[in-house]
Structure 1
Amino acid sequence: MSIRRVVSFLLPVCVMLTVSAQVTAEQKEKVAKPSEFPCLSYTAPCGKIGVRPVVKKMPQDLSLGDPERGKQIAFKRKKGNCLACHRMNGGSQSGTRGPDLSRYGSSGRTAAEIYAMVYDNRWQFPDTVMPPFGTNEVLTDREIRDVAAFLRASR
């Protein structure tokens, strides 16, 4: 292949890349608004999706549930799905997005604090990616108590 042919092929490609790399001020402004990017919805951008208010719910009685049931709930994909983000006792193929919960029971947290964090962790960490399981009614009160019991027993 001659140099002339290579240059005649590459020159238009380079011009296209240069032109496409130039971003107008209007385009930059659109990119600077992350709330306009679609997420978790096919119909509304992030900034337009209704979000339930933060709830800090402490249980009236501090009795926790059954740790074995809590483990089953935490590991179920359609329920807690905690392993998607956390390392937990007895779990395999755990995620690394969230903190390691395998020794969470040694953290010194009270039963009420653990319950409140599983119910809706946004009261403590507003920018958390952890779903508010109680506020969004993913888990029932009994299921949250079971998960909290499992976490409290993890040592």
Structure 2
Amino acid sequence: MKIEFKENQKFTQWWVWLILITIGIIPIIGIYKQLILGKQFGDKPMSDLGLIIFSVSVFCLIAIFWFMRLKTEINENEIRINFFPFIKKQVNWTEIKSAEMVNYGFVGGWGIRPWTKHGTVYNMKGNKGLAIELLSGEKFLIGTQKEVELDKIIEKLV
């Protein structure tokens, strides 16, 4: 089974990482000031345990963004998407009613966006994607940065 189309995407927007790094600096300063220097961090400091839990939570959030990937693979039998670490989806072409490239505009951000006019949107950046409607009526959209290449593959396979 030859893979006709393959795309791996991740968050590469500089401003997303600027925000995450800025958020990540706060617990580092808090741990240094409160746990290492023994001074209060802020006017109403958290307990040491609270600060540690907050820090671990912030670093887990940053790790999720670091490891998050949207992988799309299309062959003559199926479309597979893996939005790591959240969802894995596989759809046979026989289950698909329609598949077309669309400019979906702004859907409230990037990531997984349910309840849009295209169904659930899986995207990392941009506003172009493959809108799919299944025979069951379910709709979803896979964002892409390779719109021309994906459009040619869809025309060939549909």
Using structure 1 for the length normalisation, give the TM-score: 0.30
> Whose radius of gyration is greater, 1 or 2?
1
Q: Which has the higher contact order (CA 8 A, sep 6+)?
A: 1
Using structure 2 for the length normalisation, give the TM-score: 0.29
User: Which of the pair is proportionally richer in strand?
Assistant: 2
